[in-house]
Amino acid sequence: MAQELSNIPFKGVFPTAVTLVEVGPRDGFQFEPSVIPTDLKVEIISGLAAAGIGEIQVASFVRPDKVPQMADAERLVSRLPRQKGIVYTGLVLNLKGIERAVESGLDAVEVSISASDRHSRKNAGMSLEQAQRHGVTMVGQALQAGLHVRTSIQCAFGCVYEGHIGHERILELGGRFLEAGTHGLVLADTTGMADPIKISKVLAALQHVARSVPIALHLHDTHGLGLVNVMTALEHGIARFDCAFGGIGGCPFVDGAAGNIATEDTVYLLESLGITTGVDMERVAQCTNRLEGYLGKRFPVKNRPIEQGRNTIPFSSQSP
């Protein structure tokens, strides 16, 4: 007989609440071959905010000729409704990106560099050492501008070009950003190579160094391990996860790295464990349906409350 989730012995004590950072409007829209109209972006982002998601990554401040899907970054930010408790963030890859983010009126940015030398050269045109120095400079510039800064480490669990990325390298990168004053760290499974063992090793080492600075995970479901990896991170006390409505997105610079963990699926898992998210899964699903209808395609999310009926698991009756 299947055990109730509440009776399953877990290694660690799960957080009572988790913060979900919605990255679909940046990561997902950026990944689509066609450019999403600004009006539709505003509609969907507003819907995600109404669903109870308090932090939404809305744009990348990158070169329009490289990523035309993000060419409207400033115009988009200017049109977003400002609501108490909602933080809009932007991804920046260079100092110019920080300047653009500040001028747009954003209060928070994510500085991002790769832990892989080959990926960094392909993605940013810089060696790993150059990217490290540049990343520290970017963190300093963003802090000086009064922005809230989190720093993400791409390819934290492996790279399709280099293979294994040792956790020593992640510790070195994380340590340098912590010294620079970053407000948070993000471990990004850019190429979808994370697994529970890798996650446990990296987190065990990095948490000792980060101490009170929050660590978030940006996970992909490329090989079907996305939510398994969430469970592993929960056992280590991680309480911040990036996710994307519908499971959209990936990395346009790495073939086959599609598939962020879906916001709806992540909420379903967490709430079934008695972990509070504050997110209305049905409202998120409405955003997914809206984009699917516009693009004429179906995204990989599995939990669709609008189709399946609301609360197919009695969340309130279960606890970790």
Residues carrying an active site annotation: 251
Contact 109, 101 (CB under 8 A): yes
Contact 109, 98 (CB under 8 A): yes
For residues 233 and 225, give the distance between their C-alpha atoms in angstroms, rounded to a whole number. Answer: 12
Cβ neighbourhood burial of 93 (10 Å; 0-12, 13-18, 19+):
buried
For residues 173 and 113, give the distance between their C-alpha atoms in angstroms, rounded to a whole number. Answer: 9
Residue 230 — φ and ψ, nearest 5°? -60, -45
Number of H helices, E strands in the chain: 12, 8
Range list of β-strands (E), 85-239: 87-92, 108-114, 148-154, 184-188, 215-218
Taking residue 44's Cβ as centre, other Cβ atoms within 10 Å add up to 24
Contact 318, 4 (CB under 8 A): yes
Taking residue 283's Cβ as centre, other Cβ atoms within 10 Å add up to 18
Contacts of 29 (CB under 8 A, 6+ apart): 36, 41, 69, 70, 248
